[in-house]
Chains A and B, each alone.
Chain A
């Protein structure tokens, strides 16, 4: 490792960083070569983000050294890093929503450029890399993909030699991912090195030349992802063999739990999707998977199912009762449970701790004693059980929900809902941003409650997830739902056509 490798652009040696008692980075050394896409692979909390923050100058290492272009490199702030040729695109975008795309680009620059000059170079960049974006629109009005393009342009305009991408695909649709990969490959072919952080194994195999795997703050090794299967890489990443949950073996197929009929429901905002011709049913011990690219009506359908939006053109039958006019709380009381996609602010309250977050969805009043007093013993036990069973990484039950990482909060939310033993569980994107092993755990837990008799509606943009555990699948395109078919009968090449809205 100590020999200088040809074409090394960036090197770090024996980086250590501690937060309190936690050693986030333990003796980390990596080499990034010129013109390569170098993956940094690891589970949530493996220390990837800490390492790149050190490289970008946001944190300083306790010990260790770095070199960049054969020179000593120790940035004290992101400004130093940018000046030397390191750019970064953050996982949670570092953009100002009330400002325009153009203003955001200006703020990210370290020196003042003429407005015309800047406009010209932004347009050149966006044309040559396929990064289309309307510069005068406000960031708040842009989609995740467009926001990312703004960030990439902002990073590229300073002509970085090393571009750090922190989990760039976690918020993108499959189509947006593809165009991002094209951009990155083109950049690499032109001499830019890319440090690509992810825990999605397939995209690393597609995209990256080298992969450094991190586990619990330390480097496990460097691998060639082209020569390995995603499964092998995944097992190195988690340090144990991965299992694949099996779809539930339905026993009581005839017992219909829920049927939904929607003729037409108009959206509340002009950017929403109109739901049309939706007809779905789900039986006991059955998982109905609803796939499709984001923004095709998933949010709107979820709101109808949870009761956050009520509409007269909808008919929802739950075990022979009409429930379309019930609100979410009333629906929960009769045995439904929901886990919406947005974890912070929708599924959980950021400024409340985990105990309180368990307490707020307590349809069966399990944690209530006489006269409205809270049963803290029971609540504590319940919350601790979720943390343990779903391996939620947190300092304890009194940690604020906002202090958990996205993936860990997701595990907590799904655990909280499943723990209520619902008869019908409706979940949107259960494993979004969750690492491989925990994702498998969440899927297994969903399958487990289905096996004990619950009906499940699983809305997800992860096609593999849907095909893996659903009994039946349907796809949303432009607010239309395709007719649910048995997963076993569906052919992979048909899916693309259904999702594209070509076949019906």
Chain B
């Protein structure tokens, strides 16, 4: 065993790539949950995004078009969920689970002819000058567009939730939909928009998985990423930056343990594969114990159906 075989800069760069699907999907779910809706269908929307993105990418030869198709597919599936829970007022937990099962099934069907094909390449964009910095440049500034976008999204979503009126309205709908309604806000419309956004983000996350991270189509390739994204939202206390840290820790340990396996560390493979999950939970528990108070708890109306009282 030789630890020097592991290049630290490359490790960080690849952990960012590995974490990006999680960051995207979890940010989407963060917005959905802030509006008071619990969508357990993240896994289903991700895999639909993955298969659609891959198919469109292969057929058009452009990974970007594939990525857009992935977003649309995720959003479309989430619209189904939105209709069921907002208009028909069905139970959110059951509907979300159904969405995941439905998504996994239909993705397997759609993706069958595409198994084993290679996807079009996505080019990396080296940011001028700063990507030349040794080590740091390799780590952070030689990535593809989607990685940069995911980082910008963290900032934008934080700003939206904490500094913008629209974000405040979204949060108030999630905290108490009856009060928001009595003030004249359209609870159902706002939740529709939030759910659609969440679906699109999960779709892109899935698309990134099949077009960049792996990159090819295998059945069930999300392998629980949607569930990790859901857990990240909760453990981060519904805050974007802790969410990003949590996602990177998960991605980082995943990559590290793969590297360790490759250089033949004498640790049981089962233990190594378990490590990312354990480390993420530990880290997030520590984060959630921090002294910051305020908007840390779950949104007050999370998972509750909104019924207009006359």
Chain A nearest CB from B35 CB (Å) reads 13
| 8 A-B pairs closest in CB distance | A78-B184, A79-B184, A94-B179, A77-B184, A96-B175, A94-B182, A107-B172, A112-B165
Look across to chain A and name the residue whose beta carbon is closest to the beta carbon of B182.
A94
- A-B contacts, 8 of them at CB < 8 A, read A57-B184, A77-B184, A94-B182, A97-B300, A99-B168, A99-B171, A99-B172, A107-B172
B96 nearest CB across to chain A (Å): 22
Interface residues in chain A, defined as those with a beta carbon under 8 Å from any beta carbon in chain B: 19, 57-59, 77-79, 82, 90, 94-99, 103, 106-108, 112, 138
Q: How far is the CB of B238 from chain A (nearest CB, A)?
A: 11
Shortest distance from the beta carbon of B111 to any chain A beta carbon, whole Å: 42
* Residue of chain B at shortest CB distance from A107: B172
Contact A58 B175 (CB under 8 A): no
Taking the closest CB of chain B, its distance from the CB of A96, in whole angstroms, is 5
In the complex, whether B294 has a CB less than 8 A from a CB of chain A is yes
Taking a contact as CB atoms under 8 Å apart, the answer to whether B184 and A96 are in contact is no
What 1/0 mask marks residues of chain B from 176 to 188 whose CB sits below 8 Å from any chain A CB?
1001101110000
| A2, B295: Cα distance in complex, Å | 53
Q: What are the residues of chain B within 8 A of A77 when measuring CB–CB? A: 184
Contact B183 A94 (CB under 8 A): yes
A99 to B182, CA, bound (A): 17
Closest to B293 in A: A138
Rounded to whole Å, the gap between the CB of B170 and the closest CB of chain A is: 10
Point out the residue from B165, B172, B176, B294 that lies within 8 Å of A138, measured CB to CB. Answer: B294
- Please pick, from B165, B179, B297, the residue contacting A95 in the complex, using a CB distance under 8 A: B179
**C-alpha gap A425/B182 in the complex (Å):** 39
Could you say which of A96, A103, A108 has the most chain B C-beta atoms within 10 Å of its C-beta?
A96
A78 and B182 form a contact (CB under 8 A):
yes
Query: Could you tell me the distance between the alpha carbons of A98 and B172 in the complex, rounded to whole angstroms?
Result: 9
Q: Which of A98, A103, A107, A138 contacts B183 (CB 8 A)?
A: A107
Q: Complex Cα distance A77/B183, Å?
A: 9
* Chain B residue at minimum C-beta to C-beta distance from A57: B184
Distance to closest chain B CB from A4 (angstroms): 30
B residues near A82, Cβ cutoff 8 Å: 184
Interface residues of A: mostly helix, strand, loop or mixed? loop
Contacting pair A90 B169 (CB below 8 A): no
A94–B177 alpha-carbon span in the complex (Å): 10
B165 to chain A, nearest CB (A): 5
The answer to whether B268 has its CB under 8 Å from any CB of chain A is no
- Within the assembled complex, what's the spacing in Å between the Cα atoms of A365 and B294? 45
Extra inter-chain contacts (19) besides given A19-B310, A78-B182, A99-B172, CB under 8 Å: A59-B310, A78-B183, A79-B184, A96-B172, A96-B175, A96-B176, A96-B179, A96-B300, A97-B175, A98-B294, A98-B297, A98-B300, A99-B168, A99-B171, A99-B175, A107-B169, A107-B172, A107-B180, A108-B183
Q: How large is the interface on B (under 10, 10 to 19, 20 to 34, 35 or more residues)?
A: 10 to 19
Q: How far is the CA of A30 from the CA of B168 in the complex (A)?
A: 37
> Given the complex, which residues of B lie within 8 Å of A107, measured CB to CB?
168-169, 172, 180, 183
State how many angstroms separate the Cβ of B294 from the closest Cβ of chain A.
7
Cα separation A57 to B169 with both chains bound (whole Å): 20
Nearest opposing residue in chain A for B176, CB measure:
A96
Q: A112–B310 Cα gap in the complex (Å)?
A: 29
Write out the residue numbers on chain A whose beta carbons fall within 8 Å of the beta carbon of B172: 96, 99, 107
Distance of A351 from chain B, by nearest CB (Å): 12
- Chain B residues lying within 8 Å of A57, measured Cβ to Cβ, are 184
Closest-CB distance, B72 to chain A (whole angstroms): 31
Query: Chain B contacts of A138 at CB under 8 A?
Result: 294
Q: Which of B132-169 contact A (CB under 8 A)?
A: 165, 168-169
CA distance A90 to B171 in the complex (A): 21
Q: A94 CA to B171 CA in the complex, in Å?
A: 15
Q: B39-75 toward A: CB 8 Å interface, digit per residue (1/0)? A: 0000000000000000000000000000000000000
Which residues does chain B contribute within 8 Å of A106, judged by CB atoms? 165, 168
Interface centre among A95, A107, A108, A112 (most CB of B within 10 A): A107
Give the CA-CA distance A166 to B310 in the complex, in Å: 17
CB contacts (< 8 Å) of A58 on chain B: these are 182
Q: Give chain A residues whose Cβ lies under 8 Å from the Cβ of B300.
A: 96-98
- Which B residues are in CB contact (< 8 Å) with A19? 310
List A contacts of B180 (CB < 8 A): 96, 107
Q: Which residues of B contact A98 (CB under 8 A)?
A: 175, 294-295, 297, 300
Q: Which residues on the A side are within 8 Å of B179 (C-beta)?
A: 94-96
**Shortest distance in angstroms between A404's beta carbon and chain B's nearest beta carbon?**
14
Chain B neighbourhood of A94, CB < 8 A? 179, 182-183
Q: How far is the CA of A19 from the CA of B310 in the complex (A)?
A: 8
Min CB gap B41→A, angstroms: 26
Query: Contact mask B272-303 → A, CB, 8 Å, 1/0?
Result: 00000000000000000000001101001000
- Measured CA separation A4–B227 after assembly (Å): 66
How distant is the Cα of A19 from the Cα of B176 in the complex, in angstroms? Answer: 25
Write out the residue numbers on chain A whose beta carbons fall within 8 Å of the beta carbon of B184.
57, 77-79, 82
| Closest partner residue, chain B, to A106 (CB atom) | B168
Complex contacts, A79 vs chain B, CB 8 Å: 184
